[in-house]
Amino acid sequence: MRVRTARSLLFLPATSPQLLAKAMERGADALVVDLEDSVPPARKAEARPLAAAALRDLAARGAALVLRVNADPALWAHDIAAIPTAIAVTVMLPKVEVAAQVAALAARLGPQATIAALVETPRGVLEAPRIAAAPSLCALGFGAEDYAAAVGLAPAPASLSVPAQMVGIAAHAHGLAFWGLAGSVAETADMEAFGALVRLSRQIGFTGSVCIHPRQVPVVNAGFGPTPEEIAWARRVVAAAEEARGRGEGAILLDGRMIDRPIEDRAQRWLAGVAAR
């Protein structure tokens, strides 16, 4: 599934037709049509038909699509009713604190649904192992800004790495994508600093991130894939391992380091990800 393997997911407010019109030009792996935070409460009803029109248009142009609905079940019921039939859309549910929230949405969407659950509070972090086991999930997300606000701290790696890793472990244990950053996604000017945050977030287990500005997209795409040096290393590992098996050997030495099955598996995974792009 294309959304499941997305590195970059670009947010598009449903009420911003100018951003929606250029969305396919930005290079994001997936597009998130948003009905939650970027839409003021007074415009929720107006935004739903706009979101439906955007989903139809973007689907016709081949986009991998996500719809972020509102957290309140009374609102998301109206949100999902607006989803055009026969269009593949992953539904992103914010403010998830218990698995029952995901189960309720899954029951309404039906058996073919795919859901991404955003964990954004301390309670949600503690419940992440149970949330990750909920039906229809393809991804967990970590909401750095909301989590930081909930605990009264700045959204910096020092305060977010541990809770982010807790959610990430739950996601990986259930074979889910893990989206977000161990810091603020709000940086849109200093791309060097933003890139460093993306690379750190990959190292602690994130597989991709939402983007709130188009200039973040190429940085996220680059940061959530192996570097050229890592790709070259992976190719050498795979080649050396294949030669060793031909000689009836298991673990081998490469550049002074032991290479065994887990290391080869990592190399194979990196190369498979590159080939799929």
| pLDDT the model gives residue 275 | 64
The verdict on residue 2 lying in a domain is no
No. of helices (H) and no. of strands (E), the chain: 12, 10
CA 60/CA 271 separation, integer angstroms: 30
The verdict on residue 1 lying in a domain is no
158 plus 185 within the same structural domain: yes
Judge whether residue 45 has pLDDT over 80. Answer: yes
Q: How many domains does the chain have?
A: 2
CA 210/CA 144 separation, integer angstroms: 11
Long-range pairs of 49-55 with CB within 8 A, sequence gap ≥ 24: 49/82, 50/14, 50/15, 50/17, 51/14, 51/79, 51/82, 52/82, 52/83, 52/84, 54/12, 54/14, 54/17, 54/20, 55/83, 55/84, 55/87, 55/89
What is the edge-to-edge ordering of all strands in the sheet holding 8-13? 177-180, 137-142, 115-119, 89-93, 65-68, 30-34, 8-13, 209-211
CA 34/CA 51 separation, integer angstroms: 8
> pLDDT digit string (tens) for 53-76?
999 999 999 999 999 999 999 999
Q: Average of pLDDT values for 134-149?
A: 97
> Which domain does 191 fall in, by range?
8-223
110 plus 21 within the same structural domain: yes
187 plus 260 within the same structural domain: no
Q: Average of pLDDT values for 89-107?
A: 97
- Domain end among 223, 239, 254: 223
The verdict on residue 3 lying in a domain is no
38 plus 136 within the same structural domain: yes
CA 21/CA 54 separation, integer angstroms: 9
138 plus 24 within the same structural domain: yes
Share above pLDDT 70 across residues of the chain, in percent, rounded to a whole number? 96
CA 37/CA 7 separation, integer angstroms: 22
> pLDDT digit string (tens) for 188-244?
999 999 999 999 999 999 999 999 999 999 999 999 987 777 777 778 877 777 777
Of the candidates 201, 220, 274, 224, which has an alpha carbon nearest to the alpha carbon of residue 27?
220
182 plus 255 within the same structural domain: no
Residue whose entry in the numeric block shows the structure tokens 């603020």: 184
272 plus 152 within the same structural domain: no
208 plus 241 within the same structural domain: no
CA 37/CA 13 separation, integer angstroms: 9
Q: Average of pLDDT values for 13-28?
A: 90
| pLDDT the model gives residue 165 | 97
C-alpha neighbours within 13 Å on the C-beta side of residue 24 = 11
Residue whose entry in the numeric block shows the structure tokens 């986009």: 63
157 plus 266 within the same structural domain: no
